[in-house]
Amino acid sequence: MVAIGSKALPLRRPRNCDSVTDRRRNMGRKSMKKSKGGESGGASSETHNNKQYSDNQESSVPHSSFLRQQVDPETAKYFAEISNVIEGTEIDMEERSSICGNALEETRGKEVELATDYIISHTLQTLLQGCDLDQLCTFLQNCSKDFPQIAMDRSGSHVAETALKSLAAHLQENGDQSLIEVTLNDICRVIVANPVDVMVNCHGSHVIRSLLCLCNGMPLDSSDFHSKKSSAALAQRLNFKSSRSDRSGSHVLHQGFPDMLKFLVSEILKAAKKDIEILQVDQYGSLVLQTALKLLVGYDEELMHAIPVILGFKGNNIDNNIVKRLLSLMKETAFSHLMEVILEVAPETLYSELLTKVFKNSLFEMSSHHCGNFVIQALISHARSEDHVELIWKELGTKFKDVFGMGKSGVVASLLAACNRLNTHEQKCCQALIGAVCMENEPPRCIVPRILFLDNYFYCKDKSSWDWPSGARMHTIGTLILQTVFRFPTDFIHAFISSMTSLEENQLLDTTKDSGGARVIEAFLNSEASGKQKRKLIIKFKGHFGELSVLQSGSFTVEKCFDVSSVALRETIVSEMLDVQAELSKTRQGPHLLRKFDVDGYAKRPDQWKSRQASRESAYNDFISTFGSNTTKSSYKESNSTHPKSQQEKLKDTQLTSSHTPFLANKPFKSSGQKRHSDGNDNRPGKFSKHKESDSARPKSQQEKIKDMRKEIDTQLTSSHTPFLANKSSGKKRHSDGSDNLSGKFTKHTTEDVAKSKQKSPKKRKHDG
């Protein structure tokens, strides 16, 4: 048995007098996860003289071919004993730190052999997580000359990753920044001597990317930098997620070392310039370059230098040979990903140059390629101005049908989103989209069904006989295209609104039960369509609200229907939910809906429930009358006078409408883009939760302020009638359109305050529309 304690395993040699002073810290870290990988790669290079990040300059140590060496039996036995000790739960954290420090002293001169040993490397990871900062930096400084070999090894790469993560943890805890900087300087100096071997190695590539992130203060395990899911890229392109340039620094954990980052990237590119053609098409080398570019966002001068080097430009001129080579490279997987990042981070002047000199007259050809089309999507998504969109539109605006036919619908979706973001060519987009899916003289009712089942329709041989494929899954990009369209101004989307309201009952139910389709319905209900048009669609759900409310996707649709419905139609929704109340309470979304709709209150006292709903409508009406702009009032008045009085009474008798029309059913202003549900548990296609849209930085529009006021009125009214409704539901995140995130701007207004303000203030306040 091995005794437990710092004296049980003393150092087998005295501490070096030059080692940094001992600092004991509580550093309980989780073990690194095992990951698969290939065998260790060799690395060799000649001696180089490099400009150092620090003031002093030294010659880097040449790398010799690396051969794994066997750990001697005595050392192996020692670290086996250490492993047994540090896995014990009896020792306290201070004693554990001391044991880890002592054991790391035993690695001096044997760092490479121990780090690359499959068994001992796991123990070494635990030691690096539990030691003090001084001991951690001493270990890294001792093995800095061999850091590339460790990083390129299957086991050693995990040791290197753990050491860098431990440094990041110490930085977060305000560790000795100067000591960490010196340590990173030693590692960077060795890396830049021969970076290509490390970059193209599957293990080394990951380590060097982590090193770049650490220098910039980013989390080392950030998925945004190590890999990017296709759904995240699509979210960004369709304005469901802001671009990196809009949110640079949002994930920064500590200040980082920006000068060291610039030095590291600059020296890597300088040393790799002669091998840039290899790195462009190498999977792992491309990933390193992508990470470096993303981390340089905000440093335009460095980007203006780095991007031409990565693209292989000779000077500032882009000749025909370079253009041909780049267009050919974009059809390669690795380079296409790299080019997407370049277009994302490129300063506007460089983006314009690439658009006009490289991509011009090649957009449609590239859109037809299985790799190149993603580059074109990135190009469109990061258009900076109306002029950029105009150039793109000239080549692609008349090709929607051809692009759909090739199965490259993401190109069209990106163009629609860019036009929506920049408020340009929106009407032309709608006309082109209609022309792509509708034959001449066909009624508009076919538009929405064919876009919902985009590939199903375009792959059909006889399109004239195509019909709604009941039970088939809806096309993800098609549903996203419709969500974007319903963010356009009403004047441009009359045909889409008509098609949406023309859907038959069974088609609407199929749409609601599809995760992507349900979001299309919500986008329509969030659009600027009139209250009459929205109610025309909602009443088709009559008899199915209870059935839909227990479905994960359908519950969101029911909630949105309730938000934009009249009092009578709200009563219809709640009455149908009474039949499934027990089942609904067991679902994820159910308790929230039951509280928000006050189903219990309706079941016990329906008259009081209707009175509270009517009070809300009255408060909304007063608010519109007092604070609404002229456009709001005129639109609201027009909506209320849609039907003759007798027709209104008839509809009221059938509980399909009422004289109180909620102002949110009529949206006279163009919204900056509908935000999605923020419930992270709703994993629906096209749903990009917890991310603000690219337009979210715009000032709040009048319509958004009205939404905030509506929520505030709800809170004020329900607090006096149903107190539990004033509280937020546990664990439920609502629509991120601001309806549940009170701005606090109108908190002093109650229903009485609104009425008083009407009497006291004959002059109407002006608001920007």
**Interval 490-521: pLDDT, tens:** 999 999 999 999 999 999 999 999 999 999 99
Mean pLDDT across 316-336? 92
**DSSP 8-state class, residue 489:** -
Q: Which of 370, 426, 438, 373 is nearest to 397 (CA)?
A: 426
Task: Please name which of 562, 584, 586 lies closest in space to residue 572, comparing C-alpha atoms.
Answer: 562
Residue with the larger pLDDT of the pair 354 and 649: 354
DSSP 492-510: G-HHHHHHHHT--HHHHHH
> Per-residue confidence at 713, pLDDT binned at 50, 70, 90?
low
Neighbours of 550 (CB within 10 A): 19
Structure tokens at 48: 């180089």
The tokens of 343 are what? 């277009």
CB 418, CB 451: distance < 8 Å: no
pLDDT the model gives residue 530: 92
Decide if 156 contacts 40 (C-beta within 8 A).
Answer: yes
Q: What is the 3-state secondary structure (H, E, C) of 388-457?
A: HHHHHHHHHCCCHHHHHHCCCHHHHHHHHHHHHHHCCCHHHHHHHHHHHHCCCCCCHHHHHHHHHCHHHH
251-277 in b/e burial notation, b at 16+ Cβ within 10 A? eebbebbbebbbbbbbbbbebbeebbe
> What is the mean pLDDT of the segment spanning 730-757?
39
- Provide the pLDDT for residue 683: 38
Long-range pairs for 206-210 at CB < 8 Å and ≥24 separation?
A: 206/157, 206/161, 207/151, 207/157, 207/160, 207/161, 207/164, 208/151, 208/288, 209/287, 209/288, 209/291, 210/160, 210/161, 210/164, 210/165
CA atoms within 13 A on the CB side of 154: 11
Q: Given a cut of 80, is residue 340 above it in pLDDT?
A: yes
Q: How far apart are the first and last CA of the chain?
A: 79
Distance from C-alpha of 313 to C-alpha of 319, rounded to nearest angstrom: 9
pLDDT of 351 strictly over 50: yes
- Tell whether 437 is covered by a domain: no
The yes-or-no verdict on residue 756 having pLDDT over 60 is no
pLDDT score at 57 = 35
Residue range(s) defining the domain that contains residue 50? 1-31+40-218
User: And the tokens for 173?
Assistant: 């805890």
Q: Which residue, among 104, 112, 109, has the nearest Cα to 79 in the 3D structure?
A: 104
Instruction: Please determine, for residue 8, whether its predicted confidence score (pLDDT) is greater than 50.
Output: no
Name the CA dihedral angle for 654, 658, 663, 665, rounded to a multiple of 10 degrees. Answer: 10
pLDDT value at residue 134: 92
**8 A C-beta contact, residue 561 and residue 549:** no
Residue 707 pLDDT class (50, 70, 90 cuts): low
- Report residue 298: phi and psi, to 5°: 105, -15
Alpha-carbon distance of 124 to 137, in angstroms, equals: 14
- Token pair of 452 as six digits: 């919902």
Mean pLDDT, the chain, rounded, equals 77
Evaluate whether residue 743 is within a structural domain.
no
Least confident range from 204-218, 377-391, 604-618: namely 604-618
pLDDT for the residue 731: 41
Decide if pLDDT at 73 tops 80. Answer: yes
Residues 650-693: tens digit of each pLDDT: 433 433 333 333 333 333 333 333 333 333 334 333 333 333 33
pLDDT in tens, 167-197: 999 988 887 889 999 999 999 999 999 999 9
Say which DSSP state 746 is in.
T
- Phi and psi dihedrals of 59, rounded to 5? -85, 130
Choice among 17-31, 116-130, 534-548, 574-588 with the minimum mean pLDDT:
17-31
**Residue 24: inside a domain:** yes
Check residue 50 and give its pLDDT: 38
Average pLDDT on 682-707 reads 43
Residue that the structure tokens 């303000």 belong to: 757
In a domain, 506, yes or no: no
pLDDT at 16: 40
Give pLDDT, residue 384.
Answer: 94
Residue pLDDT, tens place only, 259-292:
999 999 999 999 999 999 999 999 999 999 999 9
Tens of pLDDT, residue by residue over 112-160, are 999 999 999 999 999 999 889 999 999 999 999 999 999 999 999 999 9
- pLDDT, average across residues 48-63: 37
Q: In the block, which residue shows the tokens 């000591």?
A: 179
Say whether pLDDT at 236 is over 80: no
Is the predicted pLDDT of residue 51 greater than 50, yes or no? no
* Dist CA 392 CA 510 (whole Å): 36
Give the residue-averaged pLDDT of 430-438.
95
For residue 677, give the 3-state DSSP assignment: strand
Percent of the chain scoring above 70 in pLDDT = 68
* Cα–Cα dist 748/616, whole Å: 17
Residue 217 confidence (pLDDT): 84
On whether the CB atoms of residues 124 and 114 are closer than 8 A, the answer is yes
pLDDT band at 220 (very low <50, low <70, confident <90, very high): confident
Residue 680 lies in a domain: no
Residue 43 has pLDDT above 50, yes or no: no
Sorting pLDDT into bands at 50, 70 and 90, what band is 4? very low
Q: How many residues does the chain have?
A: 769
pLDDT at 757: 43
Q: Let me know if residue 123 belongs to a domain.
A: yes
What total of structural domains would you count in the chain?
1
Report CA-CA distances (Å) from 519 to 123, 240, 606, 666: 50, 13, 31, 19
Q: Does 669 fall in a domain?
A: no
> Residue 250, class by beta-carbon neighbours within 10 Å (0-12 exposed, 13-18 middle, 19+ buried)?
exposed
Confidence category of residue 295, pLDDT binned at 50, 70, 90: very high
pLDDT exceeds cutoff 90 at 48: no
State the SS3 of 307-326. HHHHHCCECCECCHHHHHHH
pLDDT, residue 72, reads 86
CA 342 to CA 330: how far, in whole Å?
12
Q: What is the pLDDT of residue 247?
A: 43
Q: Is residue 619 part of a domain?
A: no
With the C-alpha atoms ordered 92, 98, 103, 104, is the resulting torsion angle positive or negative?
Answer: positive
* Cα–Cα distance list, 248 to 154, 242, 244, 295, 308 (Å): 32, 10, 6, 8, 22
